[in-house]
Structure 1
Amino acid sequence: MDQVPGSPQEPHNAQSGDGLPGCYRHPDRQTGIRCARCEKPICPDCMVSASVGFQCPDCVRGGSGTGHSAHAMAPRTIAGSTIAANPRLVTMILLGINVAIFAAVYFGDRLHSDLVARFDMIGLALDPALGGLVGVADGQWYRLITAVFLHQEIAHIAFNMLSLWWLGPPLEAALGRARYLTLYLLAGLGGSALSYLLAAQNQPSLGASGAIFGLLGATAVLLRRLNYDMKPVLILLGLNLVFTFLWPNIAWQAHVGGLVVGAAVAYGMVHAPRDRRTLVHIGTCVVALLAIIAVVWVRTLQLVG
């Protein structure tokens, strides 16, 4: 949100030797925290806890007496989105979709359904059950995204959905629903694309792990942007990467691809300048999508060339 004309400005002489500005109300108190709405520097005495980060007293009061419109003063997240009444809605929908598809797979296996064979992530393979060559290289690009919502084992979906429920709501609140959903889908696609590029052409994979690692990377970027303690998320990220490479039968390519894409997209979303937020956000997502398409295109040429 743009700074409201007439509100206190950041003191020009508040910079310390280490570059930290002074609180806009107490210039002698250096701080690394900024208001989540107007981005003025605020000290601990001026912080007001909000659903996302902290706000300054002026933004909490809603600009009383400034004469600005309600739209101009509408609460905004750090990424510039309006603050939703339910910051878990998209996360709940994603969780519901994953569970519903898992139920279809779980009970379908008992009915000899071929849902997994039709929708898992596979580059190119000969599948007699489906009548010949199948996979992304055979034109089935939809597998890049359908595999992100596909699980076959209870432990697999339980771990992914618990992670989604833990990581999702804070990011949804910070980024806004549309940006959060876009990040989730791009991270899932990024994981599928790297699996397609590096995994054996007849090696299938499935699961939301790429998207979950994307949320983990985005969480690290967001905490760094808010100057929060990074140790917990870095420890969690490190442990997950260790398990990724040491645990058998894990598609590490999907984890790494999702992590990279999620962190990159989140960086563009939370570091975009306020006067060009929408342009930077769209540009970041478009570049990420084009990179994914390029990886898939190059790999396809290798497999069918």
Structure 2
Amino acid sequence: MDHVASSAPDARSVPVCYRHPDRETGVRCTRCERPICPECMVSASVGFQCPECVHGGGPAPSGGAGGGTARPMAAARPRTIAGGTMAADPRLLTKILIGINLAAFLVQLAVGESFTQRFELVGRAYTPLLPGIQGIAEGQYFRLLTAMFLHGGYVHILFNMLSLWWIGGPLEAALGRARYLTLYFVSGLAGSALTYLIAAPNQPSLGASGALFGLFGATGVLMRRLNYDLRPLVALLVVNLIITFTPGFGIAWEAHVGGLVAGVVAGYAMVHAPRRNRALVQYGTCALVLVVVAVLTLVRTGQLT
């Protein structure tokens, strides 16, 4: 009891699910305000409810002695474990990202190779379909971003979009929209920067894999924080890394590694940041990762020019 009393602020910083006491969570039922883990969440019109409230057995919000004048506790909007605001559609940004990737792929099919060569990641190369020397080293830094939304074929985009739906959706619900989107772009840019730094300057690269591996890494950090079994995720990640480094697949392993490292770093800040100054720690860490991205990009540009 002495230990619990002495560390009360830390113990209360992240409550545990009332149905699974071994699982920490930052989400509460919008009706009864009891903390619930992702397994217990049932989507409601706004936020999530616990199974008991959904089936009518949960406690209703108290109205006070007067019988109708007190405000319900639902006025305090439920928060995710990372401090984000719960949304009515917890997968909205994941759907939008998938839509953007699909739209870009349709443009690739309609316009042809000239569109892909204009926006894929390439350090410095002469492209026959475009005039002159093209690449990031020529000041086309937008390629670090646009390459994240291009794909090399039907199998490529199908695999990546399925992965984004399976991994991104639950992670968006757990982090909140702003933090999830920040994590996605920070991981993708980190993957692009490492590819630019290491790969041959005339070797093109494209795909959402860097951002996806960042989501992989952040999901692992989140599952560890909630004491979930990491073995299925680790097995899936190992399989992906084996494929990544297998000769003949033509995969830009640099994007995968860069995205994974950035995702682990940013994800750790998202779910482990202290309640006090939480947003500052979270977004400050992401900003530091972007500083590293900028430094790597400038170093490589200096080498190539």
Band the TM-score falls in, shorter-chain normalisation: 0.7 to 0.9
Specify the alignment match of 2:67 in structure 1: none
Contact kept in structure 1, 2:150 and 2:206, CA below 8 Å:
yes
Specify the alignment match of 1:5 in structure 2: none
The offset of 1:240, in angstroms, is 0.4
Contact kept in structure 2, 1:122 and 1:203, CA below 8 Å:
yes
| Distance in 1 of aligned mates of 2:77 and 2:114 | 49
Specify the alignment match of 2:93 in structure 1: 90
1:270 is paired with a residue whose SS is helix
Instruction: Output aligned runs, 1:3-18, within 5 Å.
Output: 12-14=2-4
The offset of 1:33, in angstroms, is 2.7
* Residue 206 to residue 35, structure 1, CA distance change in 2 (3 Å): closer
| Distance in 2 of aligned mates of 1:161 and 1:192 | 18
The offset of 1:180, in angstroms, is 0.6
Contact kept in structure 1, 2:80 and 2:175, CA below 8 Å:
yes
How large is the RMSD of aligned CA atoms in angstroms? 2.9
The offset of 1:122, in angstroms, is 0.4
Instruction: Output aligned runs, 1:1-305, within 5 Å.
Output: 12-14=2-4, 32-37=22-27, 49-50=40-41, 64=62, 70=73, 73-109=76-112, 114-248=114-248, 249-304=250-305
Q: State the percentage of identical aligned residues.
A: 51
Letter in 1 for 2:85: T
Contact kept in structure 2, 1:217 and 1:262, CA below 8 Å:
yes
Please give the per-residue CA displacement for 1:187-210, whole angstroms capped at 9, x wherever unaligned.
110110000000001100111111
Letter in 2 for 1:82: T
Q: So what's the TM-score if we normalise by structure 1?
A: 0.80
2:273 is paired with a residue whose SS is coil
Please give the per-residue CA displacement for 1:64-121, whole angstroms capped at 9, x wherever unaligned.
5798985773211000011111011000000001011101111222xxx510110000
Specify the alignment match of 1:4 in structure 2: none
Corresponding residue pairs, total? 271
| Distance in 2 of aligned mates of 1:37 and 1:68 | 21
| Runs of 5+ unmatched residues, structure 2 | 6-10, 29-34, 53-57, 65-69
The offset of 1:12, in angstroms, is 4.1
1:33 is paired with a residue whose SS is coil
* Residue 65 to residue 184, structure 1, CA distance change in 2 (3 Å): same
| Distance in 1 of aligned mates of 2:101 and 2:205 | 16
* Residue 78 to residue 54, structure 1, CA distance change in 2 (3 Å): farther
Letter in 2 for 1:77: T
Contact kept in structure 1, 2:63 and 2:72, CA below 8 Å:
no
Contact kept in structure 1, 2:61 and 2:73, CA below 8 Å:
no
